Amino acid sequence: MTIATRQEVLGLYRSIFRLARKWQAVSGQMEDTIKEKQYILNEARTLFQKNKNLTDTDLIKQCIDECTARIEIGLHYQIPYPRPIHLPPMGLTSIRGRGLRSQEKLRKLSKPVYLRSHDDVS
């Protein structure tokens, strides 16, 4: 990992913790705010710990993009949780037909950047 990449990752980590410190739940309830702050902190710690040994620059860039997207989406929609996507089963068509393997592959490829690591952690 280059020094610039390391600084970018550490900056994202710090900005997540600053965001968690200032976070207010939309409902205005104190217990909701505490629960959402804890979710933000636990999710950040878990994902950063999971990815701390990455050395491939492309994977690191993908993780940085995912982190940035999740921060922006969380701020925009005022929810700390990743927005779910809804794809009907067998809803993606492939060139050769509707085989189960091709559907799974298309489903994996169509997953948004902000949900790439969500299935691994949750």
101 part of a folded domain? no
- 11 band by pLDDT with thresholds 50, 70 and 90: very high
Q: Is residue 122 part of a domain?
A: no
Give the dihedral of Cα atoms 66, 71, 76, 79; nearest 10 deg: 100
**Do 15 and 72 touch, CB atoms closer than 8 A?**
no
Encode pLDDT of 58-113 as tens digits: 999 999 999 998 999 899 989 898 776 666 665 555 555 556 666 667 666 666 66
pLDDT of the residue at 85: 66
Q: What is the pLDDT of residue 9?
A: 95
Within-domain flag for 102: no
- At 1 the pLDDT is 74
- What is the domain extent for residue 8? 3-85
Cα separation, 58 vs 37, in Å, equals 30
Q: What angle do CA 22, 118, 47 make, to 5 degrees?
A: 60
- Within a domain: residue 51? yes
pLDDT of 122 over the 50 cut = no
Is residue 96 a part of any domain in this protein? Answer: no
Q: Match 């949780």 to its residue by tokens.
A: 81
Q: How many domains does the chain have?
A: 1
Residues 15-62 have pLDDT tens digits of 999 999 999 999 999 999 999 999 999 999 999 999 999 999 999 999
**Using CA atoms, how far apart are residues 122 and 106, in angstroms rounded to an integer?**
21
| Strands (E) located in the chain | none
The pLDDT assigned to 83 comes to 72
13 domain residue, yes or no? yes
The pLDDT value given to residue 2: 86
